[in-house]
C-alpha cells in the first residue's frame, strides 16, 4: 500500500529564514505528488503538484519542490519565509490508477518574528 511520511511534526523558523519540509513516499511507479497548505480551521489549498517532466516544480506563494526518484522524496522549499506562511503543510500522493489521495500526517510550521 502507498504511504507518505513527513518526518517533522513541527518546525519553527524565523521570518526571512529559508525553509525545507521533508516528504517521503512509498510507491512502485512514479506517482502524482502534491503539497497542500491548511490554515487553522480551513480547507486545503494546493501549493504545487508534480505529474511528470522537470523534477523542480514551482508553486504559489514562492514555494518550490523537487522530486527525487532515487530517494522517493518530494521536499518543499522556500528561500525566505513570511509570517503568513505559518500553517499546517501536507504532502500527498495519488497513484496513476486509483482515485484517492494518500496524505502524510502533516508538518506544522511556526514562524518567529
Partner 1 sequence: ETGVTQSPTHLIKTRGQQVTLRCSSQSGHNTVSWYQQALGQGPQFIFQYYREEENGRGNFPPRFSGLQFPNYSSELNVNALELDDSALYLCASSLVDDRFYGYTFGSGTRLTVV
Q: Does 101 bind partner 1 (CB under 8 A)?
A: yes
Q: What is the CA radius of gyration of the chain?
A: 13
Q: Does 25 bind partner 1 (CB under 8 A)?
A: no
104 or 109: whose CB is closer to partner 1?
104
Comparing CA positions, the residue from 106, 102, 113 lying closest to residue 22 is 106
CA 43-73-47 angle, 5° bins: 30
Name the minimum Å distance from CB 3 to partner 1.
11
Q: Does 104 bind partner 1 (CB under 8 A)?
A: yes
Residue 81 is classified by DSSP as: -
The site for partner 1 (CB under 8 A) is made up of 4, 32, 34, 36, 41-46, 49, 51, 90, 92, 94, 98-106
Amino acid at each position: 500500500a502507498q504511504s507518505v511520511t513527513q518526518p517533522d511534526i513541527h518546525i519553527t523558523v524565523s521570518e526571512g529564514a529559508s525553509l525545507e519540509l521533508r516528504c517521503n513516499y512509498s510507491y512502485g511507479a512514479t506517482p502524482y505528488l502534491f503539497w497542500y497548505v491548511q490554515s487553522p480551521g480551513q480547507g486545503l489549498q494546493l501549493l504545487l503538484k508534480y505529474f511528470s517532466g522537470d523534477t523542480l516544480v514551482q508553486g504559489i506563494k514562492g514555494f518550490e519542490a523537487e522530486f527525487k526518484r532515487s530517494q522517493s522524496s518530494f521536499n518543499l522549499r522556500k528561500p525566505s519565509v513570511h509570517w503568513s506562511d505559518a500553517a499546517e503543510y501536507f504532502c500527498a500522493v495519488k497513484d496513476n490508477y486509483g482515485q484517492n489521495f494518500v496524505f502524510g500526517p502533516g508538518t506544522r510550521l511556526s514562524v518567529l518574528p
